[in-house]
Structure 1
Amino acid sequence: MADPITRPRRRFRGILVPLWLGYVFLYLPILVVVIMSFNDSENLFVWRGFSLRWYPEVFADGALMQGLGNTLVVATGATAIATVLGTLLAYGIQHYTRGGFVRAFAIAPAILPDLLLGIGLLTLFALLGITLGLHSVILAHAVFATAFVTAIVLARMASIDPSLEEASRDLGAGPVRTFLKVTLPQLAPGIVAGALLAFTLSLDEFVIAFFTTAPTQPTLPIVIYSMVRFGVTPEVNALATLLLFVSVVTVIAAQRLTRLTGSSK
């Protein structure tokens, strides 16, 4: 006679089938791109053997390298702005506000549709007379990246003991010194995690950059889009694989740093 405790486990194993089908649906196209980036053939639908020939050609393509350079400038600038603003915003929300309205309002750009945010920023730049270029893309990316940094730093602040700040002030330290000497070191893992996430999101963001950049200064996603309109080339697969590798490494690093926020409590 079967153990009655094991029966429910056997009965509900079928629930895992939709889970694995979902994983296949999400990651099979990515796996195909990675595999075909090592294809020696120029025809994406014909496998002719393993080769690394397309990876050097990525770096020999002037348009791709220009787009990559522009993207790195945008991602670095947007990350720097978002990290500073997001950290200060999270600190202000945690210490000087009550209720969830301000918190939700600060994180709202992270959940707004990219199309709406891109059109709104383009309209704002036009009203202010700001010419489009890499500077406008940096500002635009900093808007939504700040929301992600704010959310991560707020999560980190929830694990900080407020009595440490109170003890610092009781010992004679002012608000600024307390923030720099006590609060900021404890927020460091969350700040770095938010910065890594902001950099990754800015690196491959397309819609907002499409609305806020100049035609002469395209970012890498825009360059790739202009190439794939006429068909996907092996170079694009190789570049997508490189970007996937960078994104995965960055996200894993951000996740590990985020876990430190809970383990260090």
Structure 2
Amino acid sequence: MARRNKIYEGKAKILYEGPEPGTYVQYFKDDATAFNAEKKATIEGKGVLNNRLSEFFMTGLTNVGVPNHFIKRLNMREQLIRQVEIIPLEVIVRNFAAGSMAKRLGMEEGTQLPRPIIEFSYKDDKLGDPLVPEEYIIAFGWATQQDMDDIVALALRVNDFLAGVMYGVGIKLVDFKIEIGRVWDNDYMRLIVADEISPDSCRLWDIETGQKLDKDVFRRDLGNLADAYTEVARRLGVLPTNVTHATKPTLIN
């Protein structure tokens, strides 16, 4: 595909102008960041894995009726997506205490929560993506009360799908974050899942051993990030079952 005008570049992805109105091309980089980009590295093959894994999850969501921005994968690093107006929130769904939640509340990591807990953070790297209550979101006009009801419903449906898929391959879905975007069909506005779903945006632990298979491997210097992501892809059938490490992954179409 010929390179098009760059629309936006983030820490892990680049958005380019799409071939048709209302579309973007999303390019997955090999860059890994943590702690609001204070820690950085380049992990060869990471973008290829995340492109394919996000395709897998978004396609699965489509199949169970959860609307999202994914249209099709174009190549090893790019996918065609719908253009959306991103709501400036990260929607965090937690099934077990981990990360900042465990630290804030003094809980042991891995403690099962009484029910899935949804948190919202305001998307602003300079502010450290601070947690915000629903009252702020509605008062500042980032989303309406109806939007919030719809966002919570979407987030819980995504959680049900991801948790089931992961459990089936021996992985515990500890938590994840998604972004939500607005799209218009004529005069009708609806909310859909956007951005990506990958080990970059989830906490994934092996059910038997507790081994981390997500970006915490990079955050906490626990090993090779490409190995962890490759293991997730292998279990989900995105990689051949005999692959144990894929610096330059060979993917199944």
Q: What TM-score, normalized by structure 1, do the two folds share?
A: 0.26
* Larger radius of gyration between Structure 1 and Structure 2: 1
Higher strand share: 2
Using CA pairs below 8 Å that are at least 6 residues apart, which structure has the higher relative contact order? Answer: 1
Q: What TM-score, normalized by structure 2, do the two folds share?
A: 0.27
